[in-house]
Structure 1
Amino acid sequence: MTETIAPEPTQEQAALFARVRRLMLIAGLTTALAVAAVLIAIGYRLFRTEGSAVNTDTTAVLPKGARIVSTGVAGDRLVVTLEVGGATEIRTFDAHTLKATGRLKFANEP
């Protein structure tokens, strides 16, 4: 059997081969970077911890004579509107832990 020997590429062909290799390397690296970014995004979504769900029984003590006007949820906050002696007060609680996060009081000007 005789083997066919490929002739040496010309200078133009060698330059073309080098350019194609360089472009393929760029395309391969770009694809690898894109796949890595997608895998990182999926991993982040799967394994991020927002805190575990905790069963909590909490008793919030209201001032004497206070009346709950309304309740609502805003994001990860529980919002309770109270009427205390003619003044309006808004209390916010963390929806996951039920810890108080803020209090806003409204009063009428004298």
Structure 2
Amino acid sequence: MFHRPPPTDTPEEALTPEQERIIRKFRRFSSASLLIMVIGVAAVLGVISYRLLRAKPLATGEVTALLPKGAKIVSTAVSGDVVVLILDVAGATEIRTFDARTLAPAGRLRFAVEP
């Protein structure tokens, strides 16, 4: 099935010094290439495992956010790691933001009408 060259009865010739130098150079380059590839794969796997181990889970459980008396939620939105609530508080608009991972308050922005 596979073509094999006929066996030779002559002994193999010794390599010349130039041929040996080329073979050593090729082996050195191959070794360096293999080492760089192994370091690259190890770095990628290291970054992936670091991110998997350091990822914080999303908050679970109940959180009660107190709103001012008479406040109504106009709309909600989620953007990245932030939950945004738009409130109507006695005719004034207020935006409250919460961290989506911990559900802790992140900020508050109030809008008032000029007199």
TM tier relative to shorter chain? 0.7 to 0.9
Is the contact between residue 82 and residue 97 of structure 2 (CA under 8 Å) also seen in structure 1?
yes
22, 26, 29: which is aligned to 1:20?
Answer: 26
Q: Does 1:67 align with 2:80?
A: no
CA distance in structure 2 between the partners assigned to 1:17 and 1:86 by the alignment: 84
CA distance in structure 2 between the partners assigned to 1:81 and 1:60 by the alignment: 13
For structure 2, the residue ranges without an aligned partner over 5 or more in a row are 1-10
80, 88, 92: which is aligned to 1:87?
Answer: 92
AA of the residue aligned to 2:66: V
1:33-52 deviations in Å (ceiling 9; x for gaps):
23213322332343233146
1:29 alignment partner in structure 2: 35
Q: Judging changes above 3 Å, is the alpha-carbon distance between structure 1 residues 36 and 14 closer, same or farther for their aligned structure 2 residues?
A: same
CA distance in structure 2 between the partners assigned to 1:52 and 1:59 by the alignment: 16
CA distance in structure 2 between the partners assigned to 1:52 and 1:88 by the alignment: 29
Compute the displacement of 1:70 (Å).
0.8
CA RMSD of superposed structures (Å): 2.4
TM-score of the two chains, using structure 2 as the length reference: 0.74
Identity over aligned pairs, percent: 50
CA distance in structure 1 between the partners assigned to 2:65 and 2:92 by the alignment: 19
For structure 1, the residue ranges without an aligned partner over 5 or more in a row are none
Compute the displacement of 1:53 (Å).
4.0
Compute the displacement of 1:59 (Å).
2.2
How many residues are paired up? 106
